[in-house]
């Protein structure tokens, strides 16, 4: 990926993963139930996506929708989900745990990162619920995660682009900042210019109605993003 931008597309169906690949995505974030921001995909979905696409697939590890403060039982479920992701040859996992006062739960997140090795770990948008994003960035780095998916604390990445630019600067290459939320062909150039990030995430919910059922339209929207990122 040296010298170009990476495009990650989140999907909740095998057909979506295949359409994203055809459209020119570089990586898939595989989720169940994107209407709640994504949860751990079923084994059937993981198996089907792995058979269907050759792209790297990062599997969501999130036991439920709602907040990111998890019980011991939910934490145990996350461990099992990481084992399943590794068993079915996922290329990475996406997760995040917060404390009740909305700070990064460094200790428990680190345990999951260590369990996931050698797979890379993206800390998802639980990050955006933290009151102090600069501190949260340093906390995530302590966990050993390799990437942070974030909108800069705003409703969309485009609205949070100034903060995202500061996070990219603060990260200084120690961790990847992955702008995402509301990313589409109409604002991706702004994100490239204002954030100076090298990787971008989209679920295309701001471009197409969800749940996505017209996969030719989904593929076309992915292709628009991929074309812009090839020459932004």
Integer-rounded Cα radius of gyration of the chain: 16
In a domain, 1, yes or no: no
How many Å apart are CA 133 and CA 103, to the nearest integer? 9
- Number of domains forming the structure of the chain: 1
How many Å apart are CA 123 and CA 143, to the nearest integer? 9
pTM of whole model > 0.85?
yes
Q: Which domain holds residue 117?
A: 6-230
* pLDDT tens per residue, range 95-150: 999 999 999 999 999 999 999 999 999 999 999 999 999 999 999 999 999 999 99
Cβ–Cβ under 8 Å, residues 54 and 25: no
Structure tokens at 27: 């990586």
How many Å apart are CA 52 and CA 58, to the nearest integer? 14
Residue 2's pLDDT is 43
Residue 1's pLDDT band, with cuts at 50, 70 and 90, is: very low
Cβ–Cβ under 8 Å, residues 229 and 188: yes
* pLDDT tens per residue, range 23-81: 999 999 999 999 999 999 999 999 999 999 999 999 999 999 999 999 999 999 999 99
In a domain, 126, yes or no: yes
CATH number of domain containing 169:
3.20.20.380
* pLDDT tens per residue, range 83-92: 999 999 999 9
* pLDDT tens per residue, range 193-231: 999 999 999 999 877 777 667 899 999 999 999 999 998
């Amino acid at each position: 990926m040296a010298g170009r931008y990476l495009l990650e597309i989140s999907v909740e169906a095998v057909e979506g993963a295949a359409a994203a690949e055809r459209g020119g995505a570089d990586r898939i974030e595989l989720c169940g139930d994107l209407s709640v921001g994504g949860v751990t995909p079923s084994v059937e979905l993981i198996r089907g996506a792995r058979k269907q696409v050759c792209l790297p697939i990062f599997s969501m590890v999130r036991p439920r929708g709602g907040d990111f403060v998890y019980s011991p039982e939910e934490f145990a479920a996350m461990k099992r989900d990481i084992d399943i992701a590794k068993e079915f040859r996922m290329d990475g996992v996406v997760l995040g745990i917060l404390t009740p006062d909305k700070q990064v739960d460094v200790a428990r997140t680190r345990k999951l990162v260590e369990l996931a090795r050698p797979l890379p770990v993206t800390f998802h948008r639980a990050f955006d619920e933290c009151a102090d994003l600069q501190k949260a960035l340093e906390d995530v780095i302590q966990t050993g995660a390799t990437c942070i998916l974030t909108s800069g604390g705003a409703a969309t990445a485009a609205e949070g682009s100034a903060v995202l630019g500061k996070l990219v600067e603060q990260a200084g290459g120690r961790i990847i900042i992955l702008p995402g939320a509301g990313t589409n062909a109409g604002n991706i150039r702004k994100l490239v210019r204002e954030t100076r990030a090298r990787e971008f995430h989209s679920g295309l919910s701001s471009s197409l109605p969800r749940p996505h059922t017209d996969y030719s339209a989904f593929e076309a929207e992915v292709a628009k993003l991929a074309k812009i990122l090839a020459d932004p």
